[in-house]
Amino acid sequence: MLSRTALLKLADSPRVEKFVKKNGMSSGFARRFIAGETMEETVQPIIAINGKGMTATLDYLGENVYKKEEAIASVDYYRILFPYISQQKLDSNVSLKLTQLGLDIDYSLALDNMKAILDLAATYDQFVRIDMEGSPYTDSTLKLFAELWQERKNVGTVIQSYLHRSERDVLQLIEMGARVRLVKGAYNEPETIAFPAKVDVDSNFVNLMKILLEKGNYPAIATHDPEMIRQTKEFANSRGIPASNYEFQMLYGIRRDLQEKLVSEGHRVRIYVPFGTQWYGYTMRRLAERPANVWFVLKNLIRN
């Protein structure tokens, strides 16, 4: 079976992407993880999520654009998306990636695009989460976030527990009063900067979770790992931290049983709902997290 590293390498292969995209959506390859290819297709899944007592964060898929026009086109998309969320009365905010807004082309292009998006979001009383990408972007993402934060507060970001540096970053973000989503991390990172062993990634996740729950501003604990969730609940209980001070987040299509169980226990749960045609990289990262899913996908491709 394919390894996590091999799958993450395939995530960057345009040739495999072309093949999979030709066969993908129709065969159900991406359907497991992607709510739809258009915002209209995504409305029903979000209504269903809201109906189960959960909120959502919509991710209009796209990353690593290398043309300025594409980055501008992404900004234009949010001019339609924010009013649409409001018209459809969806209980959902937005998550996005800076490389979709031109971070690979020019830092100030991405910064200006983010400012435009946050100003637009503010008119709809909306919050925008900047996802954290691979380590070549960690510094620039945090720098850009800090610049935005000076003037705009409807924005948050993400910290990955697999990086050695993350405790320092979390403490800085807490000092600023910023909202942090804590995740384990989804990219291929060298051992020089990231913990290679799951046990260390998990232990750092628990360490950062505790810091965020005690001192952070409405942190999001984003994981499907029952042990991470158990430890979060136990820590919150032991410190008398109310469930309204933080939220759990999970990805669309993963561990629905756990999502619903948390809601039934009185916890806040937000589902990350990706949509759009640029689903290849996102879907491959989900497969890499659980290579057993590859078999499910191959069966669909063979059937097609």
Ligand X SMILES: Cc1cc2nc3c(=O)[nH]c(=O)nc-3n(C[C@H](O)[C@H](O)[C@H](O)COP(=O)(O)OP(=O)(O)OC[C@H]3O[C@@H](n4cnc5c(N)ncnc54)[C@H](O)[C@@H]3O)c2cc1C
Residues classed as catalytic:
131, 181
> What DSSP designation does 121 have?
H
Q: Which of 8, 1, 12, 2 is nearest to 194 (CA)?
A: 8
Q: Is the Cβ–Cβ distance between 155 and 149 less than 8 Å?
A: yes
Among 35, 85, 110, 132, contact with ligand X (rule: CB under 6 A): 132
Q: Is 131 in the site for ligand X (CB under 6 A)?
A: yes
Q: For the CB of residue 69, give the shortest distance to ligand X in the complex, in Å.
A: 25
Amino acid type, 47: I
Q: Is 183 in the site for ligand X (CB under 6 A)?
A: yes
C-alpha–C-alpha distance, residues 164 and 291, integer Å: 25
Q: Is 254 in the site for ligand X (CB under 6 A)?
A: yes
C-alpha–C-alpha distance, residues 222 and 155, integer Å: 17
**Interface positions, 212-231, toward ligand X (CB under 6 A):** 222-225
Contact segment (CB under 6 A) with ligand X among 75-83, 172-180, 251-259, 275-283 equals: 251-259
Q: Is 12 in the site for ligand X (CB under 6 A)?
A: no
Per-position x/- string for 140-179, each x denoting binding to ligand X as judged by CB under 6 A, each - no binding: ------------------x-x-------------------
β-strand partners of 57: 93, 272
Query: Which residue has 């992404």 as its token pair?
Result: 74
Cα-only R_g, the chain: 18
* Strands, E assignment, 14-137: 55-60, 92-96, 128-130
Nearer to ligand X, 114 or 132 (CB): 132
Nearer to ligand X, 35 or 222 (CB): 222
Q: Is 250 in the site for ligand X (CB under 6 A)?
A: yes
Q: How far apart are the first and last CA of the chain?
A: 21
Q: Is 286 in the site for ligand X (CB under 6 A)?
A: yes
Q: Is the Cβ–Cβ distance between 216 and 169 less than 8 Å?
A: no
Among 186, 209, 221, 236, contact with ligand X (rule: CB under 6 A): 186
Nearer to ligand X, 121 or 186 (CB): 186
Q: Give the interface with ligand X as residue ranges (CB under 6 A).
A: 131-132, 158, 160, 183-187, 222-225, 249-251, 254-255, 272, 286, 289-290, 293
